[in-house]
Chain A
Amino acid sequence: MEELIKKLKVEIIEVLNLEEMEPGDIDSDAALFGEGLGLDSIDALELIVLLEKNYGIKIEDPKDGRKIFFSIRTMAEFITENQK
């Protein structure tokens, strides 16, 4: 799990152009949206693409996104549970 979390942080910094950040700057349990990393709706779409492109996981119901993308850790747990 910790390896996956580390990998996700690197991928997220790259796809979301968070150029000022290092993986160590991101708290695995902090909220990604709102007061956390301050991501926006376009970033949310980018995370959906990341899951599909890098992990082959398609989110069928967009309502699930709120729970899945709450933090890096919830993303990692979702990937672990759903990756074939």
Chain B
Amino acid sequence: MSLVIRKYCSIVNACINVDGKTAFSDPEQDGFKKFIRAAYRHFETDYPKFFKMDSLSKLGFLSVEVLLKGESISGKYPIEKTGIILTNGSSSLQVDEKHWDTIRNREQYFPSPSNFVYTLPNIMAGEAAIRHEFRGENTVLISEGFDAELIFNITDLAFKTGSLESCICGWVEQYEDNYESLLFLVEQSGHENMVEKSEEDVIFEPSTLLKIYKQEL
């Protein structure tokens, strides 16, 4: 069994790339919040709950949305065999701090329920899973930076143990105006539901992930 990257999507520096080609760019937007809102509208995403998400979930959600545009994963694979495995450096620190600000002063103790529900990075994966009805492996792991070995090992293991037949995996990092995401759509080569391997498919292995991250591929 070999795993292939069917498609990949990155969001960094006010630019969204799909398979290395620019799908949306808006360098004039000042800061993450304005950029992500402009990108949401550009891709004509109809999901009002997006606006209620914290910034990390917005980035993860939109990354998955763009990655899966035009794909029919749920039609090809059982939903319980489709998963999402993400890695991230700052966890949910930004919304954690926002929550802390609402509870640090006992005289002004007004925790916001809508902030509190996002004080876990797993919620980002959950939002995408709810939207696309993935019911397979759903994990967010914390690492200091983009870790190709980690992403590969966890995803590869999930395929080898038979837990998954398709997976969205990668890196989604956001803290204030620093943001970066790189997601891969991974499928099994030779799987009955997978269309025949094309020249554009890339072998899913750590060195390839790193090359894509460094934009060397």
Q: Which residues of A contact B (CB under 8 A)?
A: 15-20, 38, 42-43, 45-46, 49, 52-53
Contacts and interface: CB of A to CB of B under 8 A. Distances in A.
Contact of B113 (A17, A19, A46): A46
A46 B110 CA distance: 10
Chain B at the A interface: SS class? helix
A46 B51 contact: no
B112 A20 contact: no
10 contacts: A15-B112, A18-B51, A19-B51, A43-B114, A45-B114, A46-B112, A46-B114, A49-B110, A49-B111, A49-B112
A52 B110 CA distance: 8
Contacts of A46: 112-114
Contacts of A49: 110-113
For the complex of A and B, the 9 pairs showing the least CB-CB separation, nearest first, are: A45-B113, A53-B110, A19-B51, A17-B52, A17-B51, A42-B113, A46-B114, A42-B114, A46-B113
Contacts of A52: 110
A69 to B, nearest CB: 14
A38 B48 CA distance: 10
Contacts of B157: none
A43 to B, nearest CB: 7
B105 to A, nearest CB: 12
B195 to A, nearest CB: 37
A16 B114 contact: yes
Contacts of A17: 51-52, 114
Contacts of A16: 52, 114
Interface in B98-136: 110-114, 117
Contact of B48 (A15, A20, A53): A20
Contacts of A18: 51
Nearest to B49: A40
B107 to A, nearest CB: 12
A16 B112 CA distance: 10
A15 to B, nearest CB: 8
B121 to A, nearest CB: 18
B113 A20 contact: no
B51 to A, nearest CB: 5
Contacts of B52: 16-17, 42
A17 B112 CA distance: 12
Contacts of A53: 110
Interface string B48-70: 10011000000000000000000
Contacts of A20: 48, 51
Contacts of B37: 19
Nearest to A19: B51
Contacts of A45: 113-114
Interface in B4-62: 37, 48, 51-52
